[in-house]
Every structure is written in structure tokens, then in C-alpha cells.
Amino acid sequence: MSAPRRGRRPGAPDTRAAILAAAREGFAASGFSRTSVRSVAAAAGVDAALVHHYFGTKDDLFVAALALRVDPREALLPVVEGGLDGAGERLLRVFVSVWDDEETRLPLLAVVRGIAEPAGQRLLRDGVMRMVLGPVGEALGLDDAPRRMTLVASQLVGLVVVRYLLAVEPLASMPSEQLVATYAPVVQGFLDGVLPG
């Protein structure tokens, strides 16, 4: 019951990292607007002002919490390098491996949780869709690339929402191998199948 005194703490606790971790969990669990600076501070066992002291505004904290050390373009390189054959399966493999790693899942969840907020929508539409999936479609040399990649995106978005965000069973607990095997044909069909119209 040591009442938290004022001033600097004894020892060398990495409070900054603690705040960052708490922010990551909060944003991943509740999204941006429903995660308050105060709640992050509480989870880190710290006063709210300290969060601002380290990270500035709440937006700054958010982008700090988002920082992944995985460049999506780089991670997707093997997908496009292998050519169109089997691209669906390779894409899904990369996708699932990233999402099943907690380290990367938390920031991604935070982004996806912003799906209902204006800024989050822009991030998803312009950032993820246009700057990540778009180039993949171009690099694969697809005809009607925008349409095909949007279809692929809809498939992946559905997977993310149902498996990782809503956690609906049995999809949430399905082993990744089975997941890849289930979705790969569909994605491949969107990539090189015949499109109606």
C-alpha cells in the first residue's frame, strides 16, 4: 500500500517502455478513441501527465504505439517475387504469420479497431489498401488489378474481423495451416480466375 509519493522513483524502472506497452494493449483492445490517456497511465501505474511528458499529445502516443519493425512492402516481397502461381497461398502465409505473432498483432489490431473512426478509415483505405495491396497487384501484373485486389482485400478483411477482432469460433482457434488451406484457393481465384461482367 505504498502511496505513490511525488518525484522521481528509486531504481531505474523503464517507465517509458511500460507506458508504451500499456498504450499498445489499450489501443489494440479498445481502439483509439475508447482508450483514454488516463487509462493508459493507470495501466502503467503512473500519473496521466507523465504520458504527455514522454509522448506529447495522444495522437503522438498512438503513432508511437503503432511503430512496427516490419515493413509491409518488404514482408510481401516473396509473394510478388514468386509470380502469379501460388501467390494466393504465399500471400495468406505472410498474412497469417504476421497476425499470429502477438508482437505485430497488437499494432495491427489497433489500426483495425479504428475501422469505425474517420481517421482510421482513411488510414485503412489510403494506407493499407492503396499503398500496400495496390502495389502487390501491380507487381503481379494482374489485369484489372484494382478490382482483383479489392476483392482479395475484402476476403482478408473478413478474415481479420471474424478471427482476430470478433474472435468467432471455430475460426478464432483454427490452426494456421488449415486457415491457409481454406482461404488460399479463394484468394487465388480472385487473383487469376475469370471475373464476371
**Of residues 80, 142, 153, 191, which one binds its own copies by CB under 8 A?**
153
Q: Residue 112 CB: number of other CB atoms within 10 A?
A: 21
4 scored as a contact of DNA (CB under 7 A) = yes
Cell numbers found for residue 172 = 478464432
Residues 36-95 that bind its own copies (CB under 8 A): none
Angle at 84 between CA 151 and CA 96, to 5 degrees: 60
According to CB under 7 A, which one of 29, 59, 121, 125 is a site residue for DNA?
59
Task: Decide if residue 156 touches its own copies (CB under 8 A).
Answer: yes
| Beta carbon nearer to its own copies, 93 or 113 | 113
The CA-atom distances, in angstroms, between 52 and each of 5, 61, 83, 104, 196 are: 19, 8, 47, 25, 53
Looking at residue 96, its amino acid is V
Stretch binding DNA (CB under 7 A), from 57-65, 76-84, 149-157, 174-182: 57-65
Binding mask 6-35 for DNA (x = CB under 7 A): xxxxxxxx-xx------------------x
Stretch of 31-39, 56-64, 89-97, 98-106 contacting its own copies, by CB under 8 A: 31-39
Find the part of the chain contacting its own copies (CB under 8 A) among 2-10, 78-86, 93-101, 179-187. 179-187
Given the complex with DNA, which of 77 and 123 has the nearer CB atom?
A: 123
Out of 21, 30, 43, 47, which residue is the one contacting DNA (CB under 7 A)?
A: 47
Q: Which of 191, 21, 29, 163 is nearest to 98 (CA)?
A: 163
Sign of CA dihedral 34, 37, 38, 39: positive
| Cis, bond preceding 170 (omega within 30 deg of 0) | yes
